[in-house]
Amino acid sequence: RIVYVNGAYVPEEEAMVSVFDRGFLFADGIYEVTAVVDGKICEWDGHIGRLERSLGEIGMSMPMSAEELLEVHREMVKRNNLEEGAIYLQVTRGAADRDFVMPEGLDQTVVLFTQAKKLTGAKSGLRVISVPDIRWGRRDIKTVQLLAASLVKTEAKKKGKDDAWMVEDGFVTEGSSNNTYIVTKEGKIITRNLSNSILPGITRKSVLRIVEELDMEIEERPFTIEEAQNAAEAFMTAATSFVTPVIEVDGVELNGGTPGPVSKRLGEVYIEESRKASC
Ligand code: PMP
């Protein structure tokens, strides 16, 4: 693979970042993951907008203009012959002698790499467990501090399941790396409202737009695990998972343990639309 490090496109074996990088020592950095389908970048405006916001929330600025970053993304697709998969972008505050006080004026570290993988196609549905949400209080910022998410997803896998839904004060916040939804027996879609408690998903935003275009009913509010277990169906969204059905919550199967019609329909429409809008 060819990776991008601070202005250079190099083979991954040759890429180097300082051991004093604050991303490495303090998780002092922001990332974005963008899907690539048919060699094109999906949801660019959403991801670049969130990157700028996340950086701003921790006192950092954009490493280069949005146009330049798009060029780097496109160059990565080209150099890695990426037809379908993900582009990972990470911007950290830079390298400095270890100190909790953030030094000013560092040269940011900018890294990109690609991951080829099949993203489109039928999805069989995920089985999830619930776990306590032990993350920090600013989950709306997309920082590289992913230890809690990584721990709970690993726990789910060890239990033979696919993902973990995190619960705080009795309500589901989100999945380990995705936004969560249930569909009530009356056909209403429920997903947690935006706040500091969850990441404002780019896929979430598009799916909510599609839901309105399709004249489906939607309510943005927190829901419980019990409510999910009694729902007609459930699903999750993320940039490289699009709309993925959830078929089991803490051992209780939904829709007979198969992907439900609303999840399937939204999944199809989402892929169709994001193919059209990709750049
Ligand atoms: N929540 C969390 C915690 C995530 O890590 C992600 C994926 N980055 C999402 C939600 C979904 O966001 P997006 O649709 O922008 O990928």
Cβ 194 vs Cβ 163: under 8 Å: no
Residues 143 and 188 in one domain: yes
pLDDT given for residue 236 in this prediction:
98
Give how many domains the chain has, as a whole number. Answer: 2
Write out residues with Cβ below 6 Å of ligand 1.
Answer: 33, 174, 177-179, 199, 201-204, 237-239
Cα 232 to Cα 74: distance, rounded to the nearest angstrom: 41
CATH number of the domain that residue 67 is part of: 3.30.470.10
Residues 136 and 33 in one domain: no
Average pLDDT value for residue range 230-243: 98
In a domain, 206, yes or no: yes
pLDDT in tens, 188-235: 999 999 999 999 999 999 999 999 999 999 999 999 999 999 999 999
Residue ending a domain, choose from 59, 94, 116: 116
Catalytic residue among 142, 153, 161, 264: 142
CATH number of the domain that residue 159 is part of: 3.20.10.10
Amino acid at 268: E
Residues 130 and 111 in one domain: no
pLDDT in tens, 30-40: 999 999 999 99
3-state DSSP call for residue 225?
helix
From residue 260, give the alpha-carbon distance in Å to each of 174, 245, 264: 20, 7, 6
Residues 99 and 156 in one domain: no
Residues 70 and 164 in one domain: no
Look up the ipTM and state it.
Answer: 0.99
**What mean pLDDT, rounded, does the chain reach?**
97
149 CA closest ligand 1 atom index: 3
pLDDT given for residue 277 in this prediction:
81
Ligand 1 center to residue 180 CA distance, Å?
Answer: 10
pLDDT in tens, 81-139: 999 999 999 999 999 999 999 999 999 999 999 999 999 988 899 999 999 999 999 99
> Domain limits at 130?
126-277
pLDDT surpasses 90 at 276: no
Cβ 143 vs Cβ 27: under 8 Å: yes
Residue ending a domain, choose from 85, 116, 147: 116
In a domain, 121, yes or no: no
Which ranges of the chain does DSSP label H, i.e. alpha helix? Answer: 22-26, 44-57, 66-79, 147-158, 202-213, 225-229, 261-277
